[in-house]
Amino acid sequence: MSAEHPEETAPGAERPRPAARLRPPRALRPALPPLAAGLLTLLCLVLWTSTGRAGSPAAVEAGEGRVFLPILDTQDTTGVFFDLTNTGGSDDQLLEVRTEHGRAMFSDRELATGSGRMIMIPRITVPAGTTLEMSPFTPNVMLSLDRPLVEGERLDFVLRFQQSGDLPVTAVVIPPGS
């Protein structure tokens, strides 16, 4: 061996091997990128949920509702309005309203060229962390009456939500505008 080239070895002697790198077998190499992406996604989800930002289930509550007393005796439909508060971390959908006092359906206003018209809608969304105050100008419940109403009368309803389930509520009959 010469002093100038210390890496040279004598004939027949073994050469020192460089430090072995950890390399996966060739057959596993194509699986590494998806595996790394999955692990990174899992790590992000763990961090997201541990900070409380993953949301929580919807939790809808309702105060006492209001039913408009029809102005005309011949009027057989009226509006029903509830204030729905979703204290949960997820949106919820009001899917159905049941009552023994007629048939209920959802309606909203559609604005078109300077005027509005009532349209039927399939459901009402109650966004997470908000209160939806139903009014004649927002999504609401239309009730086809089975009999005349009396001011001050209380009507029972059951609101069925996609996540929150059935919620029994009472609505009082009031004159419009009060």
Q: Residue 62 burial by CB count (10 A; 0-12/13-18/19+): exposed, middle or buried?
A: buried
Model pLDDT for residues 84-97, shown as the tens digit of each residue: 999 998 999 999 99
Q: What is the CA radius of gyration of the chain?
A: 33
pLDDT category of residue 7 using cuts at 50, 70 and 90: low
141 pairs with which residues across the strands? Answer: 80, 106
For the entire predicted model, the pTM comes to 0.69
Q: What is the pLDDT of residues 8-35, one digit of tens each?
A: 556 666 666 666 667 767 777 888 888 8
Cβ atoms of 120 and 138 within 8 Å: the answer is no
CA distance 55 to 127: 12
The dotted CATH code for 60-174 is: 2.60.40.1890
> Would you list the domain boundaries of the chain?
60-174
C-alpha span between 44 and 95 (Å, rounded): 34
Lowest mean pLDDT among 19-33, 81-95, 118-132, 143-157: 19-33
